[in-house]
Amino acid sequence: MTKRAESPQPQTLDEYKTYSEALEAEVNKLKKQVLMLLEQSKLAQHKRFGSSSEKTPLNQLFLFNEAEQAANPALPEPTVETVTHKRKKVKGDRLAKFDHLPVETVEYRLPEEEQVCSCCDGKLHEMSSEARDELVFMPAQYKIVRSVRFIYSCRHCERNEESTPVVTAKAPAPAHPGGLASASILAHVMHQKYVESLPLYRQEQQLLRHGLMLSRQTLANWMIYASERWLEPLFHYMKSHMLLQDILHADETTFPVLQEPGRKAEQKSYLWMYRTGHTSEPIVLYEYQPTRSGEHPRQFLEGFSGYLHADGFSGYHKLADVTLCGCWSHARRKFDEALKALPAAHRTAEVAAGKGLWFCNELFAVERRLKDVSPEARHQARQEQSAPLLEAYLKWLQNAEAEVLPKSLTGQAITYSLNQWDKLVAFMQDGRLEIDNNRAERAIKPVVIGRKNWIFANTPKGAKASATIYSIVESAKASGLNPYAYLKFLFEQLPQLPNLHDQDALRQLAPWSTSLPDSCRVAPPK
């Protein structure tokens, strides 16, 4: 073992002074490192055991301009007594939300021999009635539907002609020719996995309890077949329509695939998500790719020009003719995490993390006030209300950057905002743009929830099918459709099309189409 070389001992007063300053500098450096590690430890503990909400408590961060925050000149002076009236709920209100359900009436009458008065033996008559309502659950039922097509010929031609015309009765084309899978069972299995996040192996066990022996491999084959044969043409139509828009959102998440050629099972694959903004038809599309290369969004979005909401990932920088819009939720989250990592006693003090969070909160408060105004009015109001906040925030960032440890959580939050500044302020260019990319994060969440249940995809083919199915069901949900009813409708209608690439026919079947039957739509809440 080698012995560490020891520093020579100071001999003179000046050497002692230099040695003391060096020790002090090293102690300060170590203190900063300890504080940084404590921050990371506290944040990890909070993420594991604490609340996931990023809302700022009402009793925090009001120390900045507290008088301006609390003051409301329009508020009337309080009176001695305040009288409030609370409307009493009645039974009819409770039942109104279920009035779209069918009603089965069961009547209970006295038998004829019991309709006798106990006092005088006279005949009783129906004076009135009382009723009660119950919500009834009907368990799933399975049955075999055997389609029989009758074939016809002409007796006269059979006897007298050389050839006999044969006519076969028409029947709807099946969703799975030569197989048992109907439109309803395909829609059910897809809905269970991609909407309810129920893995195929659990569906296999569920079917077994109904007396049906269908292996998970069979179910997986059905999913891949239905996706490739019927849903992919609709997916490509939706993609072509999406690329015509000028505002999109994007995000990506890991999507493990076990049997990826040339790659180890533990290597990360990705599901990329692209969706339209709130001013266009709701289209949500997913694409499976084995890597996180920026080439994937460049190829998928080829032909698109306009604004793209995204986080700070550099993979989107390769896009041409695209203005990237940063996410203020990401910027805010970093200050929120930095504040939560501080000791509780320091979270209400005027610390850098709190000041940065306050700026972000003020920008979001402006957006909440402008939620229901027109894009033109929103753009104008942002110039008047958000622009001064952004100017003050940038100046504060530049000053605070030199005062905090770069690798601390607060330092990382400040660096993020400075590095992303051009993208963070891009939302000021158009009133249709959003201040954050939460729309994309909400669309990627079902995949994350599903992934926790079924863990991985087995093959790239299965991963591609999953991306296609997620695209259809999430677009359906965004359009206010019932995903199961919509999938069933598609598997009934698509097999009847002479040409699956008929753009007019696909337009009628798209999730946002007004020609879809009401049975596909979710009943509006009362």
> Which structure tokens are listed for 496?
């009847």
Does pLDDT of 61 surpass 50? Answer: no
Contact 222, 186 (CB under 8 A): yes
User: Of the candidates 386, 398, 396, which has an alpha carbon nearest to the alpha carbon of residue 361?
Assistant: 386
Is 64 exposed, middle or buried, given 0-12, 13-18 or 19+ CB atoms closer than 10 A? middle
Same domain assignment for residues 235 and 190? yes
**CA–CA separation, 8 and 39 (whole Å):** 36
In this prediction, residue 71 carries a pLDDT of 39
Q: Where are the beta strands (DSSP E) in 87-130?
A: none
pTM for the model stands at 0.80
Torsion sign (Cα): 286, 330, 291, 308: positive
Domain end (from 389, 412, 436): 436
Same domain assignment for residues 491 and 432? no
> For residues 137 and 373, which has the higher predicted lDDT (pLDDT)?
373
In this prediction, residue 450 carries a pLDDT of 82
For residue 430, being part of any structural domain is answered with yes
Domain end (from 394, 418, 436): 436
Does pLDDT of 410 surpass 80? Answer: yes
Q: For residue 41, what pLDDT band results from cuts at 50, 70 and 90?
A: low
Does pLDDT of 512 surpass 60? Answer: yes
**CA–CA separation, 128 and 55 (whole Å):** 55
For residue 251, being part of any structural domain is answered with yes
> Whose structure tokens read 């990890």?
44
Same domain assignment for residues 470 and 429? no
User: Of the candidates 522, 466, 443, 477, which has an alpha carbon nearest to the alpha carbon of residue 231?
Assistant: 466
Does pLDDT of 66 surpass 90? Answer: no
Residue 166's SS3 state is strand
> Whose structure tokens read 């097509």?
149
Same domain assignment for residues 181 and 311? yes
- Tally of domains in the chain: 2
In this prediction, residue 301 carries a pLDDT of 96
Q: For residue 403, what pLDDT band results from cuts at 50, 70 and 90?
A: confident
For residue 36, being part of any structural domain is answered with no
Strand 306-309 to 322-325 pairing: parallel
Per-residue pLDDT tens over the stretch 80-110: 444 444 444 545 566 667 777 889 999 999 9
For residue 426, being part of any structural domain is answered with yes
> For residues 267 and 482, which has the higher predicted lDDT (pLDDT)?
482
Mean pLDDT is highest, among 6-20, 347-361, 447-461, for 347-361
Q: What's the rounded mean pLDDT across residues 331-354? A: 82
> Whose structure tokens read 């055997």?
146
Q: Which helix (H) or strand (E) holds 274?
A: strand 270-276
For residue 156, being part of any structural domain is answered with no
Contact 355, 64 (CB under 8 A): yes
> Whose structure tokens read 């006092």?
119
Per-residue pLDDT tens over the stretch 143-197: 999 999 999 999 998 888 888 899 999 999 999 998 999 999 999 999 999 999 9
Does pLDDT of 7 surpass 70? Answer: no
In this prediction, residue 72 carries a pLDDT of 44
In this prediction, residue 347 carries a pLDDT of 65
Contact 392, 400 (CB under 8 A): no
Same domain assignment for residues 209 and 339? no
Same domain assignment for residues 290 and 198? yes
For residue 301, being part of any structural domain is answered with yes
Same domain assignment for residues 409 and 463? no
Q: For residue 35, what pLDDT band results from cuts at 50, 70 and 90?
A: low
In this prediction, residue 524 carries a pLDDT of 63
> For residues 117 and 455, which has the higher predicted lDDT (pLDDT)?
117
Same domain assignment for residues 238 and 320? yes
Same domain assignment for residues 377 and 485? no
In this prediction, residue 209 carries a pLDDT of 93
Q: For residue 52, what pLDDT band results from cuts at 50, 70 and 90?
A: low
For residue 192, being part of any structural domain is answered with yes
Same domain assignment for residues 299 and 177? yes
In this prediction, residue 75 carries a pLDDT of 43
Same domain assignment for residues 311 and 386? no
Looking at every residue in the chain, the average pLDDT score rounds to: 86
Weakest mean pLDDT among 73-82, 367-376, 469-478: 73-82
> Which domain does 449 fall in, by range?
170-326+437-526
Residues in Cβ contact with 515 at an 8 Å cutoff, skipping those fewer than 6 apart: 508
In this prediction, residue 27 carries a pLDDT of 80
Domain end (from 374, 402, 436): 436
Q: For residue 449, what pLDDT band results from cuts at 50, 70 and 90?
A: confident
Same domain assignment for residues 372 and 444? no
Mean pLDDT is highest, among 100-104, 308-312, 508-512, for 508-512
In this prediction, residue 503 carries a pLDDT of 96
For residue 205, being part of any structural domain is answered with yes
Percent of the chain exceeding pLDDT 70 equals 83
In this prediction, residue 69 carries a pLDDT of 42
